[in-house]
Amino acid sequence: MKTVEQMISADELSEFARQNMEPDWLIEKRLLACEQMKTLNFPNVLRFNYRNWQMTSDLLAWIKSDKNLLNCDLNNNSLVQFGQTTLSVNLATELKQQGVILTDLFTAARDYPELVHDNFMTKAIQTDDNFLASYHAACLTSGIFLYVPDNVEFKEPIELNLIQDSTQVSPLVSHTLIVAGANTKFSVIQQIHTKGSQANLANAFVEVIAQENSHVNMSSLDELGENTLAYLQRRAAVGRNAHVNWAIGMMNDGDTVGNFALELNGDGAQAKAKVVAITKHRQRVGINTGIKNVGKHTVGDILQRGVILDDSQLVFNGIGDIVHGASGSESEQENRILMMSNNAYGNANPILLIDENDVLAGHAASVGQVDQSQLYYLMSRGLSRVLAERLVIRGFLGAVLTAIPLKTVQQKLIKIIERKLADGHESD
Amino acid sequence: MGILEIKDLHVSVTDDETQHAKEILKGVNLTIKTGEIHAIMGPNGTGKSTLSETIMGAAAYQVTQGDILLNGESIVNMPVDERARKGLFLGMQYPAEIQGVTNAEFLRAAMNARRLEDDQISVMNFLKELDKNLDLLDMSEEMTERYLNEGFSGGEKKRNEILQLMMIKPSFALLDEIDSGLDIDALKVVSKGVNAMRGDNFGSLIITHYQRLLNYIVPDVVHIMMDGKIVKTGNAELAKTLEVEGYAGLRDDLDLDVALVDEN
Ligand SMILES: Nc1ncnc2c1ncn2[C@@H]1O[C@H](COP(=O)(O)OP(=O)(O)OP(=O)(O)O)[C@@H](O)[C@H]1O
Ligand SMILES: [Mg+2]
C-alpha cells in the first residue's frame, strides 16, 4: 500500500486548492507541507504505541453536508460547522463594531489575507511540526477564524461547534485559528461531536495566538464517535504577561491521540492546562499535555485526570519544559488516573525537562483504584455503591469541570461523564 | 421501638502481609434499645472501634462467630449501605475527605437514600432542617458549601459528623470518640447535638476515653471493654469509679489476666 504522501501529487493538490479559490500563498503552503510530509515523523506519545493507526486519508474532496440532518440551536456568538459546510455564524453587532471577526477560515484567507497569512501555522504550530501537522496543512478542508482586536473584552463566550459528518465517507481535517490581540479578554468554548457512524478520521487543530497581556479562556469538549480515529492537536503561543487557561474534556468514544501544548514565550506569561478523560470498552487514548516556559517569570500548571473502564487504555504524559534563560519560572503538574476496572491500563507520566537553575518545578502522578475508605464513608450514610462511586469520581474530575465558564457546558460535560460511566462496565 | 443486639460476637482481622488472622473481639454481648444511651470505655487497642466498625459492616472485619441483630434481623451479611438505610449510623473516629462533593449535596443524598423515589425531600424542607441544625451546632452555613470534610480541622470534622447524625436521624448511632480533639466549647456543642437526638426513637453507643463527655451526655449504661470482651457493665457511676481507679485497678478488682498497653 502506498502512503498518503505518495498518493497525493502536487498538481492534484494545487488543483484542489484552486477549486476552493484559495490565495496563492495558501496553495504554496499546502505544497510545501506536502513536501515536508515525506521526511517527518508521527508525534511521539511516550508509552503509547499507535504506529499501525491509519491517521491519514488520500481522499481529497470538497464535500457538502446536508444541514437537514441536524437540529441544533444557534446561540449568540457562535459558529456551527457540519463537516466542511459552515451552517451559521452569529456574532453580536456590538462585537462586530469593535472589529471582532468570526468566520470560516477559507473566507478569512480571502478577506483578511494579512491576518491569516501572518498567524496561520506560523506562530503556534508549524507545518513541519510533525507528520500529522504537515498532512493537516496539505489536506486541510475546513476551518474557523476568530480574531479579537487589541483592547477588546467581552464576557459571553464564543461558541464554536464542529460536527463531524460521518453520514458519509469524509475525513475531518479542520483548523481553528484564534488570534487574541493585546489586552483582550474573552472565552471560547469549542465542542466537537460526530453525526453518523461511518468510520472516518478526524484531524483537528486549534491554534491560539495570545498577544501581550491578553487573557484567553479556552474550553474544548470532545465527543467524537466510536468509529472516528482522532488526532487532536492544540497549541497556544502565549505572549508577554498574557494568560491562557485551557480546559479539555476528552470524551471521545473512539481511539484518540491528543497533543496539547502551551508555549509561554513572553516574560510573565501564564498558562493552565486541565484535561479530563474517560475511556471505556477497548478504547485507546494517548495524551501529551505540555507547557513550555520560554520567557522569564512564566508560570505553567498542568492538571490531568482520567477514569478508565473496561479494557481501555489511557496514557497521560505531562510535559513541563523549562528552557535555558527562563529564569524565575514555575512548572507544576499533576497527572492522575482512576482505575474502575482491573483490565484497564493507565499510565501517568510526569516528564520534566529543565535547562535552567532558577526555577520551581513540581509534579505528582498516580494510577489507582477508588479509595475504599471514601466509598465506605459514603455508603455508611446509606448511599448505594453506585451512587457513592459516581460522587467520588465526580469529585476526582471536579477540578476540570469547574474551569469551564458556561454552566450549561459544565452540566453537559457532567451528563456525558455520567453516561460514559453508566455505559462502561466496572469490574473488581 | 428498636433494638440492636450483639450476641457472642467474635471478630478477626487478617494481616495484609502475613495473611494471619488475629482475633480482636472475643465474645461480645450487648443489647441496646432505642431510648437508651450506652457508653463503652476501655484501654487503647481493646477493640472498641472494631466493635463499632463491625456493626456498621466495614470490610476488614470478619465475624467468625455470633451475630448482630437489628430489630430481630441478622445484619452480618448485609452491605454497609443497606445497614445504614435500616437505621444505623457510625460517627467515625477518622471521617474520610471527599473533594468535589459539597457537604450540603452529600447530606441531601444521604437523606434521600433512605426515602422512597417518589418521596424525596424538597429543597425547602431540606434547607429548613439544615438551618435549624446548623444553628444548634453553632456551625456556619459556609461549612455546608465546602467539600465534604476536605480541609476541615479535627474539631470541624467531629461537628460535621454530628450534623449528619441530626440530619439523617438514624435509630442507632455508634459514636466513636466524638470528643477526641475537641476544645471545651466544641465538646458542649457536640453533646448538645447528641442530647437533642435523645428520645424514644433513638439509641446510641458512645465510645470514649474521657469521663468528662459523660458529664454532658449522661449515659444510661456504661460498659468497660478489655481485651475484646465487655468485662463490666454498670450505670453512669461506673465511669467515675474508673476515672479514679484506672483500668489496672479495675482489672485487678475483677481478677482479669489482661496486659495493658502502657504497663511494663
Ligand atoms: N483493619 C485492621 N487491620 C489490622 N489490625 C486491626 C485493624 N483494625 C483494628 N486492628 C487491631 O485490632 C486491635 C483493636 O483495635 P481497635 O481500633 O478496635 O481498638 P480501640 O479499642 O478502638 O483502641 P483506641 O482506644 O486506641 O481507639 C488493635 O490491636 C488494632 O491494631
Ligand atoms: Mg478506637
In tens, the pLDDT along A124-149 reads: 999 999 999 999 999 999 999 999 99
Question: Least CB-CB distance to A398: which of B95, B100, B114?
Answer: B100
Kindly write down the DSSP assignment for every residue of A194-239, as one continuous string. EES---EEEEEEEEEEE-TT-EEEEEEEEE--TTEEEEEEEEEEE-
Closest Cα to atom 26 of ligand 1: B44
pLDDT digits (tens, 9 = 90+) for B39-59: 999 999 999 999 999 999 999
What is the spatial distance between Cα B229 and Cα B24, in angstroms, rounded to a whole number?
A: 9
Strand arrangement of the beta sheet that strand B229-234 belongs to: B88-91, B172-176, B203-207, B37-41, B221-226, B229-234
Handedness of CA A325, A239, A120, A229 (dihedral sign): positive
pLDDT digit string, tens, across residues B140-158: 999 999 999 999 998 899 9
Predicted pLDDT at A408: 82
- pLDDT at res. A240: 98
What average pLDDT score do residues A320-327 get?
97
So what's the pLDDT on residue B156?
A: 92
Position B262 scores a pLDDT of 61
pLDDT over 70 for what percent of chain A?
Answer: 96
| Of A48-52, A224-228, B113-117, B257-261, minimum mean pLDDT range | B257-261
Q: How many angstroms separate the CA atoms of A311 and A174, rounded?
A: 30
Does the pLDDT value for residue B264 go beyond 50? no
A278-311 core/surface letters (b: 16 or more CB in 10 A; e: else):
bbbeebbbbbbbbbbbbbbbbbbbbbbbbbbbbb
Distance of alpha carbon A183 from the chain centroid: 24
Domain residue ranges in chain B = 3-94+169-254
Mean pLDDT along residues A275-291: 97
> In this model, does residue A425 exceed pLDDT 60?
no
Ramachandran region of residue B56, left (φ > 0), alpha (ψ -120 to 50) or beta?
A: alpha
Gap from B136 CA to chain A (nearest CA, Å): 21
- The answer, yes or no, to whether residue A5 has pLDDT greater than 90, is no
What is the pLDDT at residue A424?
67
pLDDT at residue B209 above 60? yes
Going from the Cα of A224 to the center of ligand 1, the distance in angstroms, rounded, reads 51
Interface test with A, best of B82, B90, B101, B111 (most A CBs within 10 A): B101
State residue A394's pLDDT score.
Answer: 85
For the ranges A370-379, B87-96, B245-254, which has the lowest average pLDDT?
A: B245-254
Q: What is the mean pLDDT of residues A179-207?
A: 97
* Chain B residues with CB-CB distance to A383 below 8 A: 81, 109-110, 113
Alpha-carbon distance of B13 to B15, in angstroms, equals 6
Residue A1 has pLDDT above 50, yes or no: no
Determine if ligand 1 sits within 6 Å of the CB of residue B14.
Answer: no
Q: Which of A113-117, A123-127, B99-103 has the lowest mean pLDDT?
A: B99-103
Check residue A401 and give its pLDDT.
82
pLDDT of residue B42: 93
Tell me what pLDDT residue B93 has. Answer: 81
* Averaged pLDDT for residues B95-107: 91
Q: Which of A17-26, A110-119, A315-324, B246-255 has the lowest mean pLDDT?
A: B246-255
Q: Compute the distance between CA of residue A110 and CA of residue A142 in angstroms, rounded to an integer.
A: 14
In this prediction, residues A103-117 reach a mean pLDDT of: 97
B106 shares contact with chain A (CB less than 8 Å): yes
Q: Which fold has domain B3-94+169-254?
A: Rossmann fold (3.40.50)
Residue-averaged pLDDT of chain B: 93
Tell me the one-letter amino acid at B209: H
pLDDT band at residue A402 under the 50/70/90 scheme: confident
Whole-number pLDDT of residue B245:
84
pLDDT beyond 50 at A428: no
Partner-chain residue, chosen from B81, B90, B96, that has the shortest CB–CB distance to A374: B96
* ipTM for the assembly: 0.94
What is the pLDDT averaged over residues B174-186?
A: 91
Q: Are A345 and A309 in contact (CB under 8 A)?
A: no
What pTM, to 2 d.p., does this model score? 0.82
Q: Say yes or no to pLDDT of A90 above 90.
A: yes
Measure in Å the smallest separation between the Cα of B246 and chain A Cα atoms. Answer: 34
Please state, in angstroms and rounded to a whole number, the distance separating the CA atoms of residues A126 and A185: 25
B208 close to ligand 1 (CB < 6 Angstrom): no
Determine what percent of chain B is predicted with pLDDT higher than 90: 75
pLDDT computed for residue A427 by the predictor: 46
Mean pLDDT of A167-192: 97
